[in-house]
Structure 1
Amino acid sequence: MHGICERDLFDFALRSDFESFLKYSVLTLNPGMPFLPNWHIRAIAYQLERIRRGEINRLIINMPPRHLKSITVSVAFPAFVLGHDPRQRIFSISYGSELSLKHARDFRSIVESSWYARAFPQMRLSRSLDDEAATTLKGFRKATSVGGVLTGLGGNMIILDDPQKPVDALSKTRRDGLNQWFTNTLMSRLDNKETGAIIVVTQRVHMDDLSGHLMGGSGHWEVLSLPAIAEVDEQVPIGDDEFHYRRAGTALHPEHESIQMLRVLQNDLGTYDFGAQYQQAPIPEGGAMLKREWIRHYDVAPARKPRTKVIQSWDTAAKDGEQNDYSVCTTILVDGEDYYLLDVLRGRFDFPRLQQVALAHAERFKPTKVLVEDASVGIALAQVLRSKGRFRIEAVKVEHNKQMRFFIQLAKFEAGHVFFPRNAPFMADLLAELLAFPRGKHDDQVDSLSQALACKVSDYTSALMAAMSD
């Protein structure tokens, strides 16, 4: 009797909690491999449950590869949905038939397991083919590939899992072809356009990939974006009135891929591929305002000489505190018409800490001039630095908007006068921000750099030369 009660509780958990259901699905498909629970799985499960309950019917999930997205969305979720309602008609579509058929085999492994049969006794298959599993109540899960035959078929749920290979997304013709196929063909397969559900789960590969195309359209899409490394502090829904508070700089699933491993991947893949596939923040081809071909690198910065100058440029957060924007200091060596970026300091600081960091950074580089934006926290920081009497401080009045300030400096990049350190640890994040601006998530490094490049050094050149001649 005790054993029967435990089994009943187990079956109830499988029916009522998708995360528990997913765990046993993973163990069924990968016996002997551990299931590593994580908050991002709860976040995905919550949005999928909202789809099942009919609260939303358009969902985009953007996340890096190898984080259980296919098993969760394309395999386990259809099994869970059909377990609750065997009348559901589900299409599961991927970029190629081989991948679609693998997901179909995995689906059948779950619904044909003994634990599934106990948990969902009303769900029985009447037909089990390579690409289709049909239920006794006329429901089905049909697997096909993008562009596959769908004529005469209709359903009430469509799941697109990796609808395009990353390499194919580099072709405008293929991107446009997928986007047109989605709009002109796939949408027509929904029995009811208003209530039918569509789920797109994929890594980002291009600004104009299917996710970008759909988010830029008129339809309302719920978007769950899960970058491999958090770029901002955020709260992610994991249940009704339940949130996971994710801190900037943390890995999506540290037990699966540590922050150290992700940084290695970032260096190996490069700014463009890592930004798209892992950070879900694709950079425009060739750059947006700043073109990729304008980027110049150096291996060793010029030695500091009497005629060179070092500029430090602070872009401070609008408010202090860890929940707000970054404060950034770029340090640039100016040698004639050439600008060499020496360092980027970026962090969230309360004001006492910001003072300490700014003073220590100035002591380190002995700048000719320290620029501080004359606004908000920057006003107070300039006053503190000036009161120390050690450095020349200039409070910079803000003129024009961020885009115009950066646009004015683009001629220096195009002429080949701006140089970046080739292997500095901050370069991956900096280039991602520069090339995406103004369409990226952040602009603090761009603003600090614009301010530094705009600095007039001629106003104190004569003073320096006079000091040298004394």
Structure 2
Amino acid sequence: MTHNISQRTLDALLRRSPSLFFTHLFPKIDTVRDFECSWHLHAISQHLLEMYHGTCLRLIVNAPPRSLKTSLANTYFIPWLLGQDPTTKVMVVTYGDDLSSTLAKATKKVFLHREYKRIFPHTVLENDNMQATRLRTSQGGHVIFTSLHGVMTGLGADWIILDDPLQAAHMRSETRQDDVIQVFKQSISTRLNTPKDGKILLVQQRISPNDLCGALTDVPAHPWKVLCLPARFDEPAQFYLGFSKWKDVAAGDLLTPARMPEAFLNEKKAEMGDAAYYAQYLQKPLHESDCPIDFKKIKHISREEFDEISLAPTIYQSWDTALSDKPSADYSAVTTWAKFEDGRYVLLDAARYRVTSEKLQSIIVQKALAHSARFVCIEKANHAADLIRMVAPEMPDGCIVRSVPTGGTSKMQRLEAQLHKINTGKVFFLSDEPNLELVNNELRQFPNGRYDDLVDSFSQALAQMGTGSGVPVWHIS
């Protein structure tokens, strides 16, 4: 970043971007060697800039532990913010006094660093020896660090930053979660000096469906903008990084493969358990209590073990279709299965698409070819009749399209009808296939999750594999 530009030009760039400011100072202050700023920090930075410019007043940043979200959005952003305007007043709220004190000391180190004083020469702390949780500039700005139940009466701020207001250890404590929500609503949110244009930033890893993030966003037309950065993405997304640069991610991409590779995530999942892992690392807290599946009954098989099975499988693909590419539309979802004569059903792959009918038609044929599918089962919805007619003649020889009616039953009823196959140990997941996290995630959140298209595909596949003589049938009535 420093090659072939003058110190003056560099400092001007650092004043423009919180993430460039962070990238420049973080290795020097925190003595980090070979530091490379991941793209997601630039994405966070752009959202912080939206707040700074007033186009966003309420922002939530969800990201995994140790992803540097606190360092950027708190410890370094605050000095950058007061560097822009040393009269700014900021309040930082955390779950406890110890964390508040730690953050305050780290933030003060940035203010006092010689490079900071060069970049922002007009922002000066009033007294370098004052207590660490009360930082004041000579121009009247301040940063107050406090805890959830710390003293707030009489305090006001232009910015309120909540950083991990609830400890992960309390993920199953409804009392603690309700306490955080009530303190925020009744106390913290009232501390803005100018409620109309004051800014509130919540930085947290997800803890549970009922954490503060969940409570704030589980309201129609809520004012919060949410930047969700899971350790592994389960759907495509695009992020603006500033300076006319964008980052596109695909389903299955890792947030920081160097810091949190696939092997690390698998270890954390085994170590923490599904509920904590899905919340803290994938930012997808589970509503497991309402799901009828006993996930301990689902077995797992490695690719090597699967390849060693002597029986020849029959490949099924199950589609739940939607014919729109609008961002708000449902997904078209497919699961690919291997059915063995001994009664085992192995889930091999899963995918979701938000595309038009014409594009979906091509994808269905391509997926069948890729997996040498014997049966392609498509839910018989009103919108899918023409799709099924168009797809069937394009299938490779030996591949049969089945039009599957729902029989007027609900999604829950269709899933419950297949539970006996799970409970008797017949259902297997290919353990080293990352796309299956999509199915696992939807199943665990069903029926309360945002999406359930793969759940329908899952239920339909088990139903189709467990019925009939295996003689292919395709008809549309």
TM-score (norm 1): 0.82
246, 261, 265: which one pairs with 2:264?
A: 261
The answer to whether 1:84 aligns with 2:94 is: no
1:295-444 equivalences in 2 (<5 Å): 296-298=297-299, 312-315=316-319, 318=322, 325-332=332-339, 340-347=344-351, 354-355=364-365, 357-358=367-368, 361=371, 371-374=377-380, 375=384, 377-385=387-395, 388=397, 390=398, 393-397=401-405, 400=408, 404-413=410-419, 416-417=423-424, 419-421=426-428, 424-426=431-433, 428-440=437-449, 442-444=451-453
How far the C-alpha of 1:148 sits from its partner, in A, is 1.1
Q: Secondary structure at the match of 2:298?
A: strand
How far the C-alpha of 1:48 sits from its partner, in A, is 0.5
- Taking the aligned partners of 1:434 and 1:26, their CA distance within structure 2 comes to 41
Q: Secondary structure at the match of 2:82?
A: helix
How far the C-alpha of 1:171 sits from its partner, in A, is 0.5
- Taking the aligned partners of 1:141 and 1:237, their CA distance within structure 2 comes to 29
Residue 175 of structure 2 is matched in structure 1 by 173
CA contact under 8 A between 2:91 and 2:160: conserved in structure 1? yes
How far the C-alpha of 1:144 sits from its partner, in A, is 1.2
Residue 284 of structure 1 is matched in structure 2 by 287
Q: Which runs of 5+ in 1 are unaligned?
A: 464-470
244, 251, 255: which one pairs with 2:247?
A: 244
- Taking the aligned partners of 2:446 and 2:125, their CA distance within structure 1 comes to 52
- Relative distance call for 1:203 and 1:428 in structure 2 (3 A) is same
How far the C-alpha of 1:239 sits from its partner, in A, is 3.6
Summarize deviations over 1:358-386 as a string: whole Å, max 9, x none.
256457xxx7x65333426554444444x
Q: Please identify the structure whose Cα radius of gyration is greater.
A: 1
- Taking the aligned partners of 1:263 and 1:310, their CA distance within structure 2 comes to 29
Give the letter aligned to residue 428 of structure 2: P
- Taking the aligned partners of 2:224 and 2:387, their CA distance within structure 1 comes to 37
Q: Secondary structure at the match of 1:432?
A: helix
Give the letter aligned to residue 414 of structure 2: I
421, 431, 448: which one pairs with 2:457?
A: 448
Residue 233 of structure 1 is matched in structure 2 by 236
TM-score (norm 2): 0.81
Residue 468 of structure 1 is matched in structure 2 by none
CA contact under 8 A between 2:90 and 2:142: conserved in structure 1? yes
Cα RMSD of the aligned pairs, angstroms, is 3.6
Give the letter aligned to residue 337 of structure 2: T
- Taking the aligned partners of 2:379 and 2:237, their CA distance within structure 1 comes to 26
Residue 46 of structure 2 is matched in structure 1 by 46
The answer to whether 1:102 aligns with 2:90 is: no
- Taking the aligned partners of 1:285 and 1:50, their CA distance within structure 2 comes to 36
Residue 474 of structure 2 is matched in structure 1 by none
Residue 356 of structure 2 is matched in structure 1 by none
Residue 223 of structure 1 is matched in structure 2 by 226
- Taking the aligned partners of 2:352 and 2:102, their CA distance within structure 1 comes to 45
Q: Which runs of 5+ in 2 are unaligned?
A: 354-358, 472-477
Q: Count matched residues.
A: 444
Q: Secondary structure at the match of 2:402?
A: strand
How far the C-alpha of 1:96 sits from its partner, in A, is 1.8
CA contact under 8 A between 1:330 and 1:445: conserved in structure 2? no
- Taking the aligned partners of 2:388 and 2:277, their CA distance within structure 1 comes to 33
- Taking the aligned partners of 2:6 and 2:336, their CA distance within structure 1 comes to 60
Give the letter aligned to residue 18 of structure 2: F
194, 208, 211: which one pairs with 2:210?
A: 208
1:144-159 equivalences in 2 (<5 Å): 144-159=146-161
The answer to whether 1:24 aligns with 2:29 is: no
CA contact under 8 A between 1:91 and 1:159: conserved in structure 2? yes
How far the C-alpha of 1:49 sits from its partner, in A, is 0.9
Give the letter aligned to residue 314 of structure 1: S
Q: Secondary structure at the match of 2:6?
A: helix
Give the letter aligned to residue 281 of structure 2: Y
Give the letter aligned to residue 41 of structure 1: L
273, 276, 296: which one pairs with 2:276?
A: 273
How far the C-alpha of 1:348 sits from its partner, in A, is 6.8
CA contact under 8 A between 1:270 and 1:428: conserved in structure 2? no
Q: Secondary structure at the match of 1:224?
A: strand
Percent identity between the aligned chains?
27
